[in-house]
Chain A
Amino acid sequence: MVPRELLPIIVVLITLYLVVIAFSYWGVHRIKRGVYAKDTEIKRRLYELAILKEIADRTVYSLNIKKILDVIVGSLNQFLEYSVVSYMLLEPSKVVFKADLERSVSISFIKDIRTRMLGSLSALLGRDLSAVEVEETITGAIMMGVTEEPVRSYFNIPLVIGDQLVGVLTVSHTKAGLYKESEMEILYKIVNQASQAVSKLEDVVKTEQGKIAAMLESMLEGVVMTDLDYRVIAANPAAEAVIGYKGEGVPTIFNFIDAFNESLDIRSKLEEAIKLDKVLTINEVIFNNKYYQVVVSPVKSNIGLTRGQTLGGVIILHDVTHEKEAEKMRNDFTSMIVHELRSPLGNIKKIGEMMRSSKILEDKQASSEYVSMLYESSSSMLDLVNDLLDVAKLEAGKFSVEKSSVDIKEILSERMKFFEATARDAGINMNLIVAEGVPNSVSVDAKRITQVLNNLFSNALIYTLKGGTVTAICFLHKKGQTISDEALAVSAPWVSDSMSLDTTILPDSVVVAVTDTGEGITSENIEKLFNKFTQFASSTRDSEHKGTGLGLVIVKGIIDAHGGVVGVGSKLKSGSTFYFTIPL
């Protein structure tokens, strides 16, 4: 028996014991709960890290949001309880809906989820999607008609790539109030990180595509890229211009096939290039009055798993019309030179044949005439050869002048006298105007300036009709004044039409000009006057005034070598003024 007086102490001790036991139990329980919560948190974190790593690995080489979502959907059961996880992706003409069933649900459950997801997308887009075609794929557990459990818990995660809504991910369950905010937020975090990864990769790809597109757009050659089914993936503006395509979007291969029709079978060439795995070059394709060199080549991947694999084909359309024109001009020029040499050579041959006859040699007058003709023909040939040599020197940059102090007025006057006989025979008047102040001594290559004047006088006399006038003019130019005003000031006949050069910037110079009252030159032909090839083309049109057209090319070369300029003014049916300057 316990003494009565000890009872309260025993009660207190028992109470204390019970309290300690209760506290210990509560403490252990609390610790257990903490450990469990930590364990759950660690599990979540591990899942989060694992899934983010898998997503990161996939996004390294994939921009396909579908694949990323499949990764999330495929591993979600490690972390969340659900009946169905589904995603819906927006495509241009339809919506792709995929549902993965963790456990059997009814058809109406799927229908309900689909409706809710479409509702979410409609609310985000601000337009009704209920009538849009839905391509449905159901995987996982089988659907059972007998289970009529409705959707009691669900949440949606909008899928956004680069600020654009691409779809929605939905987790749903037949149980009510299942999802805690923290759990939902983790999935939001995972999806957002995946979206950001894809957005970043898309940005990189877009930047690279932009660079390629800019390069393609800036190319003068037409470039058309196709896939293995000959669908046009890209065509630059130059390629569109070749076929005259003005439609919306990228042209199709049929646009190119139709355009080239009989000129080139584009598709066969593409097939051949891809099949034989080699670059084909078609050198001369005439299309729309233009010449093209067409290169058709297979396109191969040089990166990743597809390295070496043929991805499609490329067609390069190189406009070679200008090259062809230049080639024609060169050929025409060669023909002209041959023709110009052939004529005097033919004369020399004929005279030689005749002079072999003793009878001709006995006739002194006839012999003298034939010798003169031989001299003229050989001189003509020599002039042509000299002209060609001068042009060759000019083009090679080896043309030089030997300057000395001479009286340019004297050279001009002497040349006037030389051509006066020719002018008189042609019924053309010749005048000379020399203004006051022209120095008696100017540093020039007298021989070359004589050559220049010969060309200008000879041209003026050729193109001036009987009764017309050729005037030689010499005056001083002061910097800041226009040569035309200065010419008019000395009452010189001056044709300023089509003169484009700003002469006010020229330094103080002596100006020498020849003005005729001839047929004039069109402004279009003025531009061609100093071009070796184009001048020839205009000369040959005029059967009356044959020539190589090299004279003015050489004139310009000589004056350039003196540091001066050559100018032309002309008016049709009125005449022309050719002038040159010699800086003082």
Chain B
Amino acid sequence: MEQAEQYKAVMAEIIAKQSIILGPDMAIARAKKVSGIGVNEKGEITEVSGDPAEALKNLIDTYVELSGQIVKNALGPIFTKYPDIKQ
């Protein structure tokens, strides 16, 4: 898979996981505010503009800002599936 696609997949999985943890309303609302990505109502990534690594970091940070480090820890299994992408 192309790296840009991998980033999109990781970000989509993160939003999906946060939807389970926080509920879809909150998870998607937060994701929509992240600069550099476009997110639809289903929580899917519609576009990535600029540096995808930066967008991924911003996405994680937005959830950490809300609920603390514990939500970041829960993302570990996602990153093990994408070894080329740094957390």
A residues with a Cβ closer than 8 A to B are: 116, 119-120, 123-126, 153-158, 160, 163, 165, 170, 177, 179, 181, 184-185, 188, 192
Contacts and interface: CB of A to CB of B under 8 A. Distances in A.
A156 B30 CA distance: 13
Nearest to A196: B68
A155 B25 contact: yes
Contacts of A158: 21-22, 67-68, 70-71
Of the listed residues B23, B66, B77, the one surrounded by the most CB atoms of chain A closer than 10 A to its CB is B23
Nearest to B22: A156
Given A156-B21, A156-B22, A181-B29, 12 more contacts: A119-B20, A124-B71, A126-B77, A153-B25, A154-B23, A155-B22, A157-B22, A158-B21, A160-B68, A165-B70, A170-B23, A192-B68
Nearest to A122: B20
B26 A181 contact: yes
Contact of A154 (B25, B74, B77): B25
A126 B74 CA distance: 7
Contacts of A156: 21-23, 26
A188 B20 contact: no
Contacts of B17: 123
Interface in B1-53: 17, 20-23, 25-26, 29-30
B76 interface: yes
A576 B21 CA distance: 84
B69 interface: yes
Contact of A185 (B66, B70, B74): B66
Nearest to A121: B21
Contacts of B68: 158, 160, 192
Contacts of A157: 22, 67
Contacts, number: 60
B25 A123 contact: no
A153 to B, nearest CB: 6
Contact of A179 (B20, B25, B30): B25
A160 B22 contact: no
Contact of B26 (A119, A123, A184): A184
27 contacts: A116-B20, A116-B23, A120-B20, A120-B23, A123-B21, A123-B74, A124-B71, A124-B73, A124-B74, A125-B74, A153-B25, A155-B25, A155-B26, A156-B23, A157-B67, A158-B22, A158-B71, A160-B70, A163-B70, A165-B70, A177-B25, A179-B25, A179-B26, A181-B30, A184-B25, A185-B66, A192-B67
A120 B25 contact: no
Given A158-B70, A165-B70, A120 B26 contact: no
A120 B70 contact: no
B31 to A, nearest CB: 11
B73 to A, nearest CB: 8
A126 B23 CA distance: 17
B19 to A, nearest CB: 10
A188 B67 contact: yes
A44 B25 CA distance: 20
Interface string B55-81: 000000000001111110110110000
Closest A-B pairs by Cβ, 7 of them: A155-B23, A181-B29, A155-B26, A123-B20, A124-B74, A120-B21, A156-B23
Contacts of B30: 181
Nearest to A124: B74
A65 to B, nearest CB: 15
A188 B77 contact: no
Of the listed residues B22, B29, B69, B73, the one surrounded by the most CB atoms of chain A closer than 10 A to its CB is B22
